[in-house]
């Protein structure tokens, strides 16, 4: 429809143009503007900028999300111990308060930037942008972003990462993907953590957890591990190496990658083209 001939005036909105209607012409004119842009387009713009920044330096950025206490920092500690020492890694830590997690990472000799969000329940692209000013991306291969422990809000904010990894510890219940579909649908990889505790838990079934993920139409791989016991770590480390190789190849070809869930419905309704 055009803006000039009136073909956008339908039976449904005609009353608005009559006296008393919202668009009845007065000295003080009304205008209806169609926008159809994402509510978070400011954040998304900054996220795109961050992603370009990572790509220019050939860095792979991975966003770790989970509920509090599911073992994100412990996983990073175990990963830093076991990962190929040729890989240069940095960590951005998001927490409401304290430098505790960043200090745990720094003890491994790895650069860590702590973002204290105050009362904010998630990281956003602007916070990551500021943190990137403190990192020398030329000297890095992988940046892990440890998001605020929260299975709700972090899923809605693009940070500029290439991949989302969601942790589900076996103490939390295998129905978490059904309870928090927005979060688990956004996962490129689901890690089932603390499996050393399965011996004392009779109510967590690894297969059920995966089935609940599949019900979200997710084809993401699932890896079960224990960071504390260093079991199952090879699958995770192999996945990291694979993703690192793919990122190098993408950067060579001038491509990039966004986390697995594209806002399909949003794109369709906004009439946007597929990327």
Calpha distance 138→169 (Å, rounded): 34
Q: Mask of contacts with other proteins, 78-97, x by CB under 8 A?
A: --------------------
Does position 40 interact with other proteins (CB under 8 A)? The reply is yes
| Shortest Å, Cβ 257 to other proteins | 18
The CA–CA distances, whole Å, from 265 to 103, 257, 271, 272 equal 41, 19, 10, 10
Q: Single out the residue of 124, 141, 158, 210 in contact with other proteins (rule: CB under 8 A).
A: 124
| Shortest Å, Cβ 231 to other proteins | 28
| Shortest Å, Cβ 184 to other proteins | 9
Which window, 35-43, 59-67, 224-232, 236-244, contacts other proteins (CB under 8 A)?
35-43
Does position 12 interact with other proteins (CB under 8 A)? The reply is no
Does position 48 interact with other proteins (CB under 8 A)? The reply is no
Of 198, 126, 191, 197, whose CA–CA distance to 164 is shortest?
191
Q: How far apart are the first and last CA of the chain?
A: 25
| Shortest Å, Cβ 125 to other proteins | 10
| Shortest Å, Cβ 87 to other proteins | 32
Q: How far is CA 57 from the centre of its chain?
A: 20
**Which pair of tokens denotes residue 146?**
């440890």
Touching other proteins, residues 154-193 (CB under 8 A)? 155-157, 177-179, 181-183, 185
Q: Is the CB of residue 155 less than 8 Å from the CB of residue 73?
A: no
The footprint of other proteins (CB under 8 A) covers 3, 6, 8-9, 22-23, 25-26, 28-43, 120-122, 124, 152-153, 155-157, 177-179, 181-183, 185, 212, 214-219, 261, 263-266, 268-270
């Amino acid at each position: 429809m055009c803006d000039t001939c009136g073909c956008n005036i339908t039976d449904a909105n005609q009353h608005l143009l009559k006296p008393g209607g919202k668009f009845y012409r007065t000295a003080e004119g009304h205008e209806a503007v169609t926008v159809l842009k994402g509510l978070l387009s400011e954040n998304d713009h900054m996220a795109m900028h961050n992603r370009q920044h990572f790509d220019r330096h050939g860095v792979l950025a991975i966003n770790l999300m989970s509920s509090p206490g599911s073992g994100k920092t412990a996983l990073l500690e175990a990963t830093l111990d076991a990962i190929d020492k040729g890989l240069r890694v940095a960590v951005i830590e998001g927490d409401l308060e304290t430098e505790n997690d960043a200090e745990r990472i720094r003890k491994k000799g790895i650069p860590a930037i702590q973002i204290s969000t105050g009362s904010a329940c998630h990281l956003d692209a602007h916070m990551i942008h500021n943190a990137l000013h403190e990192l020398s991306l030329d000297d890095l291969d992988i940046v892990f972003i440890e998001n605020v422990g929260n299975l709700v809000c972090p899923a809605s904010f693009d940070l500029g990462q290439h991949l989302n990894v969601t942790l589900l510890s076996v103490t939390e219940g295998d129905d978490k993907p059904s309870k928090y579909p927005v979060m688990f649908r956004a996962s490129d990889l689901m890690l089932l953590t603390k499996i050393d505790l399965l011996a004392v838990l009779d109510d967590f079934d690894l297969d059920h957890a995966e089935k609940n993920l599949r019900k979200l139409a997710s084809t993401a791989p699932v890896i079960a591990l224990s960071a504390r016991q260093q079991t199952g770590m090879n699958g995770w480390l192999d996945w990291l190496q694979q993703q690192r190789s793919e990122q190098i190849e993408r950067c060579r070809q001038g491509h990039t990658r966004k986390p697995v869930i594209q806002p399909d419905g949003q794109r369709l309704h906004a009439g946007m083209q597929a990327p």
